[in-house]
């Protein structure tokens, strides 16, 4: 469908890796608590964010909107977004 925004919730790590938490609904408080506990077990933190755009379409611009921290992520939001962009470019080139 033209005009569909492809919006979803993600957890973005400091190194640019991310996981999708949902696209059709907001993550629940319980889901976020479980995610935070799992990240803490691994010694990691992340940012809860809304991602918009198609990851696999090279000409599509991806936008990330920071919502809040999950645990204690290392570095800054800006460096995590830059790492996300680099990982996306590498994935698109490898595909």
- Smallest CA-to-CA distance from 52 within 94, 84, 93, 91 is with 84
pLDDT at 2: 52
Residue 66 lies in a domain: yes
Asked whether residue 72 is domain-assigned, the answer is yes
Residue 47 to residues 3, 21, 93, Cα–Cα distance (Å): 27, 12, 26
For the segment 16-45, what is each residue's pLDDT rounded down to a tens digit?
999 999 888 899 999 999 999 999 999 999
What's the total number of domains in the chain?
A: 1
**Has this prediction a pTM greater than 0.75?**
yes
Q: How many helices (H) and strands (E) does the chain have?
A: 2, 4
Range of the domain at 49: 7-94
Instruction: Identify whether the C-beta of residue 15 lies closer than 8 Å to the C-beta of residue 83.
Output: yes
On whether residue 62 sits in a domain, the answer given is: yes
Would you say residue 1 lies in a domain?
no
Do the domain assignments include residue 23?
Answer: yes
- 2 belongs to a structural domain: no
Q: Are 14 and 45 in contact (CB under 8 A)?
A: yes
């Amino acid at each position: 469908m033209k005009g569909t925004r492809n919006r979803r919730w993600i957890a973005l790590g400091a190194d640019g890796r991310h996981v999708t938490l949902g696209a059709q609904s907001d993550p629940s408080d319980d889901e976020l608590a479980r995610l935070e506990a799992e990240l803490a077990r691994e010694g990691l933190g992340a940012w809860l964010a809304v991602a918009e755009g198609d990851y696999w379409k090279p000409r599509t611009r991806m936008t990330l909107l920071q919502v809040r921290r999950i645990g204690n992520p290392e570095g800054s939001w800006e460096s995590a977004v830059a790492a996300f962009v680099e990982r996306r470019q590498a994935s698109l080139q490898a595909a």
